[in-house]
Amino acid sequence: MDASQHVETQQGQNWVSLKNSDTPPPSVNISCDTINTNSSAENLGVLLDHNLSLDHYITDMVKAANFQLYHLSHIRKCLTPKALHIAVHSLISSRVYYCNSLLVGLPKTQTNKLQHVMNCAA
Protein backbone atom coordinates (compact mmCIF):
# COMPACT_ATOMS: atom_id res chain seq x y z
CA MET A 1 0.00 0.00 0.00
CA ASP A 2 1.49 3.35 -1.03
CA ALA A 3 1.20 6.58 0.93
CA SER A 4 -1.80 7.98 -0.97
CA GLN A 5 -3.80 4.79 -0.46
CA HIS A 6 -2.89 4.84 3.23
CA VAL A 7 -4.12 8.45 3.57
CA GLU A 8 -7.36 7.64 1.74
CA THR A 9 -7.89 4.65 4.05
CA GLN A 10 -7.26 6.81 7.13
CA GLN A 11 -9.61 9.49 5.80
CA GLY A 12 -12.29 6.89 5.12
CA GLN A 13 -11.99 5.49 8.63
CA ASN A 14 -12.23 8.96 10.19
CA TRP A 15 -14.90 10.19 7.73
CA VAL A 16 -12.68 13.05 6.59
CA SER A 17 -11.77 13.60 2.96
CA LEU A 18 -10.46 16.40 0.82
CA LYS A 19 -11.78 16.92 -2.68
CA ASN A 20 -8.95 16.92 -5.17
CA SER A 21 -8.79 20.31 -6.84
CA ASP A 22 -6.06 22.12 -8.69
CA THR A 23 -7.41 25.53 -7.78
CA PRO A 24 -7.99 26.71 -4.26
CA PRO A 25 -10.11 26.71 -2.24
CA PRO A 26 -10.83 23.02 -1.63
CA SER A 27 -13.79 21.79 0.30
CA VAL A 28 -13.58 19.40 3.22
CA ASN A 29 -16.03 16.54 3.74
CA ILE A 30 -16.63 15.39 7.29
CA SER A 31 -19.12 12.54 7.52
CA CYS A 32 -22.02 13.78 5.41
CA ASP A 33 -21.27 17.48 5.78
CA THR A 34 -19.25 19.59 3.34
CA ILE A 35 -17.31 22.58 4.64
CA ASN A 36 -16.34 25.12 1.99
CA THR A 37 -13.14 27.00 2.58
CA ASN A 38 -12.26 30.57 1.63
CA SER A 39 -9.51 31.71 -0.69
CA SER A 40 -8.22 34.03 2.03
CA ALA A 41 -7.77 34.04 5.79
CA GLU A 42 -7.37 36.78 8.37
CA ASN A 43 -4.85 36.49 11.17
CA LEU A 44 -4.06 39.37 13.56
CA GLY A 45 -5.95 41.69 11.24
CA VAL A 46 -3.85 40.81 8.19
CA LEU A 47 -5.77 39.35 5.26
CA LEU A 48 -3.73 36.62 3.53
CA ASP A 49 -4.79 35.10 0.22
CA HIS A 50 -3.76 31.69 -1.09
CA ASN A 51 -0.74 33.20 -2.92
CA LEU A 52 0.40 35.22 0.13
CA SER A 53 0.44 38.32 -2.09
CA LEU A 54 -1.35 40.57 0.46
CA ASP A 55 -3.36 42.25 -2.33
CA HIS A 56 -6.59 42.30 -0.33
CA TYR A 57 -4.83 43.50 2.81
CA ILE A 58 -3.14 46.41 1.04
CA THR A 59 -6.32 47.36 -0.83
CA ASP A 60 -8.36 47.36 2.38
CA MET A 61 -5.70 49.34 4.23
CA VAL A 62 -5.49 51.97 1.48
CA LYS A 63 -9.30 52.30 1.41
CA ALA A 64 -9.47 52.73 5.18
CA ALA A 65 -6.62 55.26 5.21
CA ASN A 66 -8.14 57.30 2.38
CA PHE A 67 -11.46 57.27 4.22
CA GLN A 68 -9.80 58.59 7.38
CA LEU A 69 -7.82 61.22 5.46
CA TYR A 70 -10.98 62.43 3.74
CA HIS A 71 -12.76 62.91 7.05
CA LEU A 72 -9.73 64.46 8.72
CA SER A 73 -9.56 67.03 5.93
CA HIS A 74 -13.04 68.24 6.91
CA ILE A 75 -12.19 68.79 10.57
CA ARG A 76 -8.60 69.95 10.02
CA LYS A 77 -9.52 73.61 10.61
CA CYS A 78 -11.01 72.78 14.00
CA LEU A 79 -7.87 71.03 15.28
CA THR A 80 -4.57 72.37 16.49
CA PRO A 81 -1.52 71.22 14.51
CA LYS A 82 -0.50 68.96 17.39
CA ALA A 83 -3.98 67.39 17.64
CA LEU A 84 -4.02 66.85 13.86
CA HIS A 85 -0.61 65.21 14.03
CA ILE A 86 -1.82 62.86 16.78
CA ALA A 87 -5.00 62.03 14.84
CA VAL A 88 -3.08 61.27 11.63
CA HIS A 89 -0.59 59.12 13.51
CA SER A 90 -3.23 57.18 15.41
CA LEU A 91 -5.57 56.66 12.45
CA ILE A 92 -3.23 56.20 9.49
CA SER A 93 0.44 55.74 10.36
CA SER A 94 -0.17 53.15 13.05
CA ARG A 95 -2.25 51.03 10.65
CA VAL A 96 0.42 51.13 7.96
CA TYR A 97 3.19 50.33 10.43
CA TYR A 98 1.22 47.46 11.99
CA CYS A 99 2.67 44.15 10.69
CA ASN A 100 4.85 46.04 8.22
CA SER A 101 7.44 43.28 8.39
CA LEU A 102 5.06 41.25 6.20
CA LEU A 103 5.48 43.85 3.45
CA VAL A 104 9.21 43.20 3.01
CA GLY A 105 9.97 41.88 -0.46
CA LEU A 106 6.64 42.79 -2.03
CA PRO A 107 6.65 44.26 -5.54
CA LYS A 108 6.96 48.06 -5.86
CA THR A 109 3.44 48.23 -7.33
CA GLN A 110 2.00 47.16 -4.00
CA THR A 111 4.28 49.13 -1.70
CA ASN A 112 3.80 52.28 -3.82
CA LYS A 113 0.12 52.28 -2.85
CA LEU A 114 1.06 52.45 0.82
CA GLN A 115 3.78 55.02 0.14
CA HIS A 116 1.19 57.23 -1.58
CA VAL A 117 -1.07 57.02 1.49
CA MET A 118 1.82 57.97 3.77
CA ASN A 119 2.72 60.90 1.49
CA CYS A 120 -0.86 62.15 1.62
CA ALA A 121 -0.87 61.83 5.41
CA ALA A 122 2.33 63.86 5.78
Query: For residue range 12-41, what is the model confidence (pLDDT) as tens digits?
Result: 554 444 444 455 556 666 777 777 666 667
Based on the domain organization, do 55 and 108 belong to the same domain? Answer: yes
If asked whether residues 44 and 93 sit together in one domain, one would say: yes
Angle between helices 55-75 and 108-121 (to 10 degrees): 10
Q: What is the DSSP string of 14-48?
A: HTEEE---SSSPPEEEETTEEEEPPSEEEETTEEE
Q: pLDDT by residue (tens digit) across 60-103?
A: 889 999 999 999 888 888 889 899 888 888 888 888 888 788 78
Whether residues 25 and 44 fall in one domain: no
66 and 48 inside one domain = yes
pLDDT at 67: 92
- Residue 23: per-residue pLDDT: 58
Is-above-0.95 flag for pTM?
Answer: no
79 and 115 assigned to the same domain: yes
What pLDDT shows up at residue 56?
A: 81
Q: Are residues 49 and 23 in the same domain?
A: no
Domain count, the chain: 2
63 shares a domain with 13: no
Do 26 and 53 fall within a single domain? no
Residues 27 and 35 sit within 8 Å (Cβ to Cβ): yes
Q: Are 32 and 91 found together in one domain?
A: no
- Note whether 31 and 71 are same-domain residues: no
Q: Which domain holds residue 90?
A: 40-121
Q: Are residues 30 and 58 in the same domain?
A: no
23 plus 76 within the same structural domain:
no
